[in-house]
Amino acid sequence: MSRSIRTAVLIVAGIIWLLPVYLLVINAAKSPADFTSKEAWLPNGFALFDNMADALSLSGLGDAVLSTLIYAVVSPIVAVLVGAAAGFAIVALRLKHGFAWFVVIFGGTVFPLQMVLIPLFDGYSRVGLFDTRFGMVLIYTAISVPFSAFVMRNFFSGIAHNVFEAAVVDGASTWRIFTRVYIPMAMSALVAIFILQATFVWNDLLLGLTLSQSDDVRPIVTTLSGMQSTYGGAQLSTVLAAGILVSLPTVVLFLFTQKFFAKGLALGQY
């Protein structure tokens, strides 16, 4: 196919692909009074921000924003560093049986999340971590570690061992080599993992449903899921506005970092 035909096909397909987003936005912008689901395709008024404000004040969505932000920032940062440390131990420090240890860590992603839900719920209740922000940060971190270790091990494999040896000759400690040499070199990969894991945490439903209860601990997506069953009819526009509000941060994050993110992962492959 010639380039111009390909471009035309892609533009048409792209427009079709965005139709659901168009529907979401115009219907979320209808004020509850003007909302009628009979005219889904026609825009009618612009009450998007009012609807968002309603969504935030009703249903505890506002309370959920701060805690979700904490989960989606803190957990991936810790996980990325823990994963990088594991990769550093295996690749640069040549940990004995390093590959076996890598398999132990990476094996954590092979099992479905459903396998850990009940004991986490049960155990969290017993030790007082149920419905706490710390408990949520902890599990989101643990879940993000295997993927982070996977990418970082690959990434560090691509760095010549001379780099490590040169730093040793200069008299640097392993901690110093890790924080001053390896971490700075891996910035693009670290950010790529961070973005992926932050998106995952922000969008998580299952752990939020299982391990939290109160408005200020519940992650935002879990709150949205609850709203969907509580509201109906005329207030659908409010729920749709809440849907936009919840999705906006990850969409923006993704769009602004697309190039960077592709680069970080591509480096990680080799």
Minimum Å gap between C-beta 216 and another protein is: 19
User: Among 88, 248, 54, which Cα is nearest to 176's?
Assistant: 88
Contacts of 83 (CB under 8 A, 6+ apart): 144, 145, 146, 147, 148, 149, 150, 151, 152, 193
Decide whether 22 or 49 has the Cβ nearer to another protein: 22
Cβ-contact 185, 264 below 8 angstroms: no
Cβ-contact 203, 247 below 8 angstroms: no
Minimum Å gap between C-beta 151 and another protein is: 12
Q: CA separation (Å) from 198 to 33, 68, 152?
A: 36, 10, 17
Minimum Å gap between C-beta 187 and another protein is: 18
Decide whether 175 or 184 has the Cβ nearer to another protein: 175
Minimum Å gap between C-beta 170 and another protein is: 15
Decide whether 24 or 70 has the Cβ nearer to another protein: 24
Decide whether 37 or 57 has the Cβ nearer to another protein: 37
Minimum Å gap between C-beta 228 and another protein is: 6
Residue 253 to residue 259: CA distance in whole angstroms: 12
Decide whether 47 or 240 has the Cβ nearer to another protein: 240
